[in-house]
């Protein structure tokens, strides 16, 4: 939804959060009318705390979980305020109560069993979204201070992480960064310079470079609006002809001319950082295109900023 909103031309960007707020209000009012609960609005801690301390019916828990999920999608997807921390805990907790209620139709679950399932749901939901399983377990334990819950939290988090990694290969935050045209920083730098200089260049930068294949003003505007990259490799008729910068594209649009381009610096994936160090001075734009073979297509790029940022990790 967030990606579609960003690319939509039906409304101004400032109007979408208002639309999302109306959607959240409709969902919240509908849930309040049906249940008398206000957990859809705000962080929902009041309803969640009440459920953890006194229990809650599984049908009501399911209603609150679905309502909160829809409200979070509307709010975050349209660019409204708020994040994902509180909604994931709320949704996970209510999903746990829903699961315990359904299992209770066939199994004799005690109130403690239902509480453990709710806490496990909170840990699982938060953990799979942020891909921080240990943090999720410790956080829920700090909220409950119940050592007896730790085995269930660990087991549930392990299973949920396995399923999440099979379904999606990146976390929620990494996906948002990619939607914004920014590549997540993934490299873990070695702890000494000798090993660092032997790292292959394929470990740096983006594995999905965005090419500029048309120098028409409309194409330039589309790339500037959709992507936040500083540099773009230019490919015309299937051949890399240069690298242009964001500043050059903006200047070209202002003057109604084609953007200026710099000579591309192309390296091979098997080369190490030590091998390409002499090439750093050849790229005024500070961008390097990477291909697997000498005659193969460019399938990766990295910038001088990527290199400096990763190298800084060596000294930290």
Give tens-digit pLDDT for 81-128.
777 888 899 999 999 999 999 998 888 888 888 889 999 999 999 888
Please tell me the distance from the alpha carbon of residue 268 to that of residue 94, in angstroms, as a whole number: 51
Where residue 238 falls (left for φ over 0; alpha for ψ -120 to 50; beta otherwise) is left
Q: Which residue has the higher pLDDT, 123 or 16?
A: 123
Choose the weakest-confidence range: 62-66, 97-101, 299-303.
Answer: 299-303
CA distances from 60 to 67, 104, 146, 277 (A): 10, 15, 25, 62
Token code pair at residue 4: 């579609």
CB-based contact 101:27 (threshold 8 Å): no
> Tens digit of pLDDT for each residue in 171-205?
777 777 666 666 665 555 555 566 667 777 777 66
* Residues forming a β-bridge with 301: 206, 289
Q: 303 pLDDT band (50/70/90 cuts)? A: confident
Q: Which residue has the higher pLDDT, 26 or 282?
A: 26
pLDDT given for residue 139 in this prediction? 85
Q: 6 pLDDT band (50/70/90 cuts)? A: low
pLDDT given for residue 131 in this prediction? 84
Choose the weakest-confidence range: 159-163, 196-200, 227-231.
Answer: 196-200
Token code pair at residue 62: 């399911």
pLDDT given for residue 273 in this prediction? 76
Alpha helices in 13-130, H assignment, sequence order = 15-35, 45-54, 58-77, 85-103, 111-130
* Residues forming a β-bridge with 239: 236
Q: 27 pLDDT band (50/70/90 cuts)? A: very high
Which of 149-158, 182-191, 276-285 is predicted most confidently?
149-158
CB-based contact 233:240 (threshold 8 Å): yes
Please tell me the distance from the alpha carbon of residue 121 to that of residue 277, in angstroms, as a whole number: 49
Please tell me the distance from the alpha carbon of residue 286 to that of residue 255, in angstroms, as a whole number: 25
Give the H or E element holding residue 267. strand 265-268
Helix (H, G, I), strand (E, B) or coil at 245: strand
Residue 241 has pLDDT above 90, yes or no: no
Q: What percent of the chain has pLDDT over 70?
A: 84
DSSP 8-class letter at 171: -
pLDDT given for residue 281 in this prediction? 66
Mean of the pLDDT values across residues 200-225?
Answer: 81
pLDDT given for residue 272 in this prediction? 81
pLDDT given for residue 186 in this prediction? 56
Q: Walk me through the domains of the chain, giving residue ranges and CATH numbers.
A: 2-177 (1.10.3080.10), 184-315 (3.10.580.10)
Q: Which residues are within 8 A (CB) of 286 and not within 5 positions of it... i.e. 6 or more apart?
A: 231, 303, 304, 305
Token code pair at residue 217: 């003003």
Mean pLDDT, the chain, whole residue set: 81
pLDDT given for residue 95 in this prediction? 92
pTM for this structure? Answer: 0.63
Q: 170 pLDDT band (50/70/90 cuts)? A: confident
Mean of the pLDDT values across residues 25-53?
Answer: 88
Helix (H, G, I), strand (E, B) or coil at 29: helix
């Amino acid at each position: 939804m967030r990606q579609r909103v960003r690319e939509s031309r039906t409304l101004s960007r400032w109007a979408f959060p208002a639309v999302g707020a109306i959607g959240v209000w409709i969902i919240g009012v509908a849930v309040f009318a049906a249940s008398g609960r206000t957990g859809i609005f705000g962080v929902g801690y009041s309803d969640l705390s009440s459920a953890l301390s006194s229990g809650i019916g599984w049908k009501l828990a399911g209603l609150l979980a679905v309502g909160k999920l829809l409200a979070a999608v509307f709010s975050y997807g349209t660019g409204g305020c708020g994040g994902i921390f509180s909604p994931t805990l709320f949704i996970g907790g209510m999903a746990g109560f829903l699961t315990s209620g359904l299992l209770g139709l066939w199994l004799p679950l005690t109130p403690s069993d239902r509480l453990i399932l709710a806490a496990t749901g909170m840990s699982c939901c938060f953990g799979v979204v942020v891909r921080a399983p240990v943090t999720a377990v410790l956080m829920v334990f700090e909220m409950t201070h119940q050592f007896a819950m730790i085995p269930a939290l660990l087991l549930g988090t392990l299973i949920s992480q396995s399923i999440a990694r099979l379904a999606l290969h990146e976390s929620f935050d990494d996906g948002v960064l990619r939607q914004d045209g920014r590549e997540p920083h993934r490299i873990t730098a070695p702890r000494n310079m000798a090993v660092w200089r032997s790292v292959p260049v394929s470990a740096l930068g983006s594995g999905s470079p965005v090419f500029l294949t048309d120098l028409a003003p409309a194409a330039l505007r589309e790339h500037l609006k959709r992507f936040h990259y500083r540099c773009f490799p230019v490919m015309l008729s299937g051949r890399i002809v240069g690298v242009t910068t964001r500043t050059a594209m903006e200047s070209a649009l202002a003057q109604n001319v084609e953007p200026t381009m710099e000579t591309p610096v192309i390296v091979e994936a098997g080369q190490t950082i030590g091998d390409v160090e002499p090439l750093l001075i050849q790229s005024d734009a500070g961008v390097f295109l990477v291909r697997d073979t000498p005659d193969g297509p460019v399938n990766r790029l990295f910038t001088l900023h990527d290199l400096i940022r990763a190298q800084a990790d060596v000294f930290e």
